[in-house]
Structure 1
Amino acid sequence: MSLPALATLPATLDFLALRAEQTLQAAFAELSTDAAARFAAWAGSRQETLRRVTAASDFVVQQALRDPQMLLELAESGELERPLQAGELRAQLAAQLLECEGEDELGRRLRRFRNRQQLRIIWRDISRQADLIETCRDLSDLADSCIDLAYHWLYPQHCAQFGTPIGRRTGQAQHMVILGMGKLGAHELNLSSDIDLIFGYPEGGETEGVKRSLDNQEFFIRLGQRLIKALDAITVEGFVFRTDMRLRPYGSSGSLVFSFNALEQYYQDQGRDWERYAMIKARVVGGDQQAGEQLLEMLRPFVYRRYLDFSAIEALRSMKQLIQQEVRRKGMAENIKLGAGGIREVEFIAQAFQLIHGGRDLSLQQRSLFKVLTTLEGQGYLPAAVTDELREGYAFLRYTEHALQAIDDRQTQMLPDNDQDKARVAFILGFAEWSAFHERLMHWRGRVDWHFRQVIADPDEDLDNAEEEVVGGEWLPLWEDVQDEAAACRQLEDAGFADAPAARQRLAGLRSGNQVRAMQRLGRERLDAFIPRLLAQAVEHDNPDLVLERVLPLVEAVARRSAYLVLLTENPGALQRLLTLCAASPWIAEQITRFPLLLDELLNEGRLFKPPLAPELAAELRERLMRIPEEDLEQQMEALRHFKLAHRLRVAASEIAGSLPLMKVSDYLTWLAEAILDQVLALAWRQTVAKHGTPRRADGSPCDPDFIIVGYGKVGGIELGHGSDLDLVFIHGGDPQAETDGVKPIDGAQFFTRLGQRIIHLLTTQTNSGQLYEVDMRLRPSGASGLLVSSLGAFARYQESEAWTWEHQALVRARVLVGSPQVGREFEAVRAAVLGRERDLNALRTEVSGMRAKMRDNLGSRVTAAGTAANAFEATSPFDLKQDAGGIVDIEFMVQYAALAWSRKYPELLEFTDNIRILEGLERLGLVPGEDARLLQEVYKAYRMAAHRQALQKQPGVVSGDQFHAERRSVLRIWRELGLN
């Protein structure tokens, strides 16, 4: 966002500069000889700047002529050449209001101060000593200071007359809260803007300290009226700020001031979409700041919905249509704020994303448009090229707006219709002539309007023939049930439905179902607009019957939250991706039906089919949680669950699309679990430490956190599937006996147990977004009867002297997922020592074979004796991919046997925990023939790929017995050759 260039003063404006110079000299001469000399000395060194400003702005000349002393003071103070420091402007006004007596004097001092600052701000803007951000900030600070200091001057006067307002509930003195809306709320005020305010007060009650008390509301209404008069009334000194109160509840017909309860009730029950749009930028600009923040927090759920809210686009589109009608009616096409490609369209783009996504993505809950655009780019909502154009276009439009208003301090966004002001505007913007400026302006308006249409415009608007029917319109009669049954079935059959009566019945069931019958008018209109689009896209698929069967439950689930229907109506690409994924996987269809917020993931095709790598995953989750207050546990838990759901969907979508092979699917799902566990551990640690203090190590130093989460099974082996649970073991390195240092101290053993319980609670608690993971802790020392968390020493002792062979087999796949690096290294040393000890191979083979036999007996397919009977290879028999003979567990047991048998001599076998890389090591070391090792790897991947497919089809990991004949026989052959039986 660059400053407009400085242009040479054109000859057409020379006479204005000359006339201003002469009149100013005369005014200073009339003031005093000394003043004239001081002005001449100052102006002599800044002649070019003085000529620029006075030629461009009648307001500056008029104010200097009205009060030459003010210009001289500004000049000699250096304020025209430097930016003000934070708080400096307020301090100056506070000094001006000291010893102010009477409301008339208050009004005079406020107006003089405003005119002084307005002159300074316009001077710095035209002379390009201030950029757009500084100008808007100074104007907003000026408004804040005038509003708040005027209020605090009036309040004690008002209390002396009518008593002090006291809250009925708290018994505390009450102050008014003044909310600044629109550009004031966002610190984006323009040079001649009015200010939109809303007044509130915390609670009802009466005034005290006078004979005749007033109701609190009446007290604040009268106070509000006095404040408006102090700011808005036009006197010989002008005005401070034009004050608009029409954004308050019920508009001009509503009470001037409302209690917090009344405001909350109004917005909850009657708040309209445009009021949500307005409330995005609301900020406390005066009165009780602390109470004001509480009010904004109360109103936040009205503004930002926790679900995806694509109804916001409809509302913004309707608002834009009303504005366009007004523009056409009043002939305001040249209005750079309201016309096509104007300032309002950039604001609408940003606020559309804020209203749609801001309830879940807290980074969008900002007021500043520039900051929102940066977030939209950073979070991937808009490409950098788009946000760059919007940022540059908006800045150009705002600079133009300021140029229009700087001329005469007049509230206008209309391009001038006279040559003199055209020359001024072009000159202020750095152009030699109007035509060059206007060409650039129209370029930016064109780009803004194009981007606006991509976000806000109706999806049917870009049809070549404006009279063409809406997409899917041919299906509307069928949906509205105005056809007879035969005609409806014929239309469905012709479109490719195999079972037309069933499809028609499904649609009829939806139409007459309780969810749809209970819909309000607006929701029903949205459903009626969506179903024809759904049918039009469904018939493009090979199996439209299946698409309809899987998608209609989702439609029914979201019928009462019709914003989701708007999302799909507004985004044909998202609807297409939804149907494709649901047709491919009933598991995905069920996930989206249970958690419709996942529809958000369908909006960005590039992101949907390209899940991030492990570091990006972890960073994204950290960033999300950083935006949530530490004390808001509910939001943190929801954010974790949504993150998991969203990324798990992206992995499944990528697998279906073929962009992610099996091994990468497991990698991503494992990385996802690790990123979540890392943040869950951090949350649980903070909460447990906050309650009990920090535990100690044996040397007395504080733990930080000296705790690890060890993953076993699939998560340990980096082989997670779509519905896998987590096999976890918790280990700590603290002193079990030493007490924590908090106000409620407990010993270390208790602390880490409670930490472990907290972790499990965060992982397994059911919320609106489900649970994070099912957790299995049975692999900890002594199983379900053992301690939830073991010290590292206790874990080592158990593994060395008490653990069974099958527990050592499980340890082969164990690895540290998250936690203390030091304790992690110590765990790895224990693991290596336990697994690498000398073993009797005959005894080992017997124990591994015995455990495998028990598992086959208990978990394998009974009708084929776990795949060992003669009928095991028949098409009518089942083959359990995991448990039957020749299946996944046989391969895992062989790998574990090999690691236990040979890792003492070859410790490098313990480097990895996944079967594929352990098999690579066995081949490299010559412990297993290369052909056999590679065969086991390929078979293992084939089994797992089949199990993934089954999971995505919501089927158990069982296929027909006529599959994988060669693979199963090969696995059993290698099993026997290893001496297992």
Structure 2
Amino acid sequence: MTVQGRRSSTFTRLLRHGFTDPADAERLLELPVLSSVRGDPVLLDALGGAADPDLALLGLVKLAEAQEDGGRELLNTVLGAKPLRDRLFGVLGASEALGDHLARHPGDWRALATYESADLHPGVAEFEHGLAGADDPVSLRVGYRRCLLAIAARDVCGTTDVAQAAAELAALATATLRRALALARLAAPEDAALCRLAVIAMGKCGGDELNYVSDVDVIFVGEPVNGAEEATALQAATRLAAHLMRICSETTIEGAIWPVDANLRPEGRNGPLVRTLSSHLAYYQRWAKTWEFQALLKARPVAGDEELGAAYVEAVSPLVWHAAERDNFVTDVQKMRRRVVDNIPAHHLDRELKLGPGGLRDVEFAVQLLQLVHGRSDSTLHSGTTLVALGALAAGGYVGRADAAQLDEAYRFLRTMEHRIQLHRLRRTHLVPKEERDLRRLARSMGLRTEPVAALEREWRRHAAVVRRLHEKLFYRPLLDAVAQLAPGETRLSAKAAGQRLEALGYADPAGALRHLEALSSGVSRKAAIQRTLLPVLLGWFADSADPDAGLLNFRKVSDALGKTPWYLRLLRDEGAAAENLARVLSAGRLAPDLLMRAPEAVAILGAPEGLRPRDRAQLEPEVLAAVGRAEDAEVAVAVVRGVRRRELFRTTAADIIGSYGTEDSPAEADPGALVDRVGQAVTDLTAATIAGALRAAVRTQWGDTLPTRFTVIGMGRFGGHELGYGSDADVLFVHEPREGVDEQEAARAANAVVAEMRRLLQLPTADPPLLIDADLRPEGRSGPLVRTLASYAAYYRRWSLGWEAQALLRAEPMAGDQELGRRFLDLADPLRYPKAGLDEAAVREIRRLKARMENERLPRGADPALHTKLGRGGLSDVEWTVQLLQMLHGHELPALRTTRTRRALAAAADAGLVTEADARTLDDAWVLATRVRNGVMLVRGRAGDTFPSDSRELGAVARYLGYGPGHAGEMLDDYRRTTRRARAVVEELFYGG
């Protein structure tokens, strides 16, 4: 065979054995150092079994070249002993970093030749023996890497599984900490003589499940000995602890071992590095947060004074297992989980193996929470090791066995991925690589040899999906098992345990919640079967709200009302967004669920693609007027109109809630101003359509389709400004003008009769939210006639009108009735509200005086001026009066200011240079926030209010509506005060003239 033929044959063989760069592999095989073995078929077979044959070959060449004898002993031994060959090539093909270590320390390959029973699963004692000769930080690092080499060899060859490898890594860390402490003591024997020092491992090291590259979390406990003063002894212990940390953490010519992190200690970085046992206990009993007890779940003494370490764990253990009884336990746990997710960079989220959705932290978090909840009464759950604890949860019946098995499998797969990713360069990372070669090596190291990259991606996504699903199901499915026979042969969660879990998840009435679950899910009907599918996820969404009990109760009521309707459960099961939308709406407060209870069929809105888009006046008014035209009498007509209002008000509240909270598929609305405008416009359009329907019904009662006088309804205040909230009254003026040939008195009687009938119809007793029409802004206020002719309005405004009445007309806009008459009313109002000469000083002073008087007299007694949304400092009134003053001063010359809408007028004032952009933004932020608070209070309480609720759950629900996570109501109040304080400073300058 020619040389070229031999090369072609070698090239093909290399490709067949998994080499990705056969040309470079051929070059390496031709090097003199491999001359004695290059023709041995065992070599290529062994390299082909490595995760990355190219990397393994390169590592072998470096290692052979580093040998004093040119690699003869190494190569002969390796090719003659399969266990050693598998170990060495397994390491070289998976870890570039360990290959470099072997090249620097060419004799360390012999550590892989040992194959004794003790070598299979070494513990702390074996690793201590391996590190015994290390008498300085550099030699400790070399010894550590030598031990790590053996762990990695067993791991990649499958001699140990991922859990055993993690335990060995924790044992090696323990031995290393002990050796580092011994070195620190040798360096400062005078300090060692003054104190006892215990090193407590936390986190993964404490849980015997360490990664290849990870911080080692510790807590230090110190006590004086030999009559030393406590302060002196703690100073000595602190020096020893700091020296230990430096030995492990500092980088030398051999690199670093790993950082020792003591930030889990009381007070974190701000607290002393070493405390006495009594000082630790005092802190945990008085000041510790929930996350600190969750962290202590993994506490394990690993080095130093064994008796002191054991005493520490014994003392803190009861505190750990009663953490679930603490106030705000649920809120704290939710905050911890959100903080983890929020800190993941968005561009890493889809490659994040540990912290992303369906990642390792989801498993660990779920297991730890269940341990804290049920470990109070079941000591079998007291393990710091995730998989051991998961097995105990399954054995105790707290998690279904099938679910636990799936979660165990997924966790092992994800941890193996994490180990192999870190092993390559011994770097701390949890990101799945993007490069094809890296993914191929990773997949092959996990035994995926057929289309490795595609297989890895498929398996990773599958296991992540399992974790995501079971993370929810772990908490909630066993609750169903507690009330219904769902899984024969499986241990059911006891009623007590189910109650504990519900309580820990935020349900204030666990017994009531269990009754609802039983009613919804028990039995063998198709309806119950679908509910059992839906409830685990729904319960999670309810638990994520401020009032889970209300959410579950409301869901039961809706299900009772619609349970026999074939489309209802099918909608929730098959339309992805519908179930989550319903859960969010039912647990957000009283208003939306109350509306839904009176029209349960409106739940269909939540599943329709366009269902959550509010309908405008052009769509609503024809529907309302047509319904009135078909009705038998006025009362039936108004009942139909109210039905439309109820349905559309539910649509608007649901869209607002979902837009504010967001869902898994649709994030929360980013612009609060857009939400406010949408609600204001939707409620205004709905109110206008309702009034138009009531007007048509009142006219038909006596006059058929034609009233003897033209009639229009002018919207005022928030109604005219298209800024109605859920609890707002509709301010109006009634205007009429006799038709040609109709006597003025007859026309007046007809107009007054229509107004009286409209008000009667709209005030008929009903369970719906009231629609109150308020005509107190009319000339002469309550003492004046309810309805006037256009000419009468003109005469009054010409002779008698006051400044406040002209100001009120800034919001005037026709809303129902005769459009031409409405337009003529605006022609009458324009010279008053936008005076040609603007306002003189006296008029400005009068407006300021009226505003100051209103602040002093109308703020309710005992109300906090900093938190009253309407009349408080920087609230709605402050912003609106400031904007309206600018409109009256400059509206005649600046057409853009001639709008009834506050935000539009403010933007126009900024565009015209009347207000700086910064001041306009400050006022706008305050107005939007105050409006959202008012809407939120109405949604949560079901009744209007201008102040924040005093009830903690209601306050929390308003905070959730405003976008704050659980437990952040205080932050909401602080932000509100800060935003409105800034707005008040602008008002002082612009409105009151500084």
Which TM-score bucket, shorter chain as reference?
0.3 to 0.5
The normalised TM-score by structure 1 is 0.44
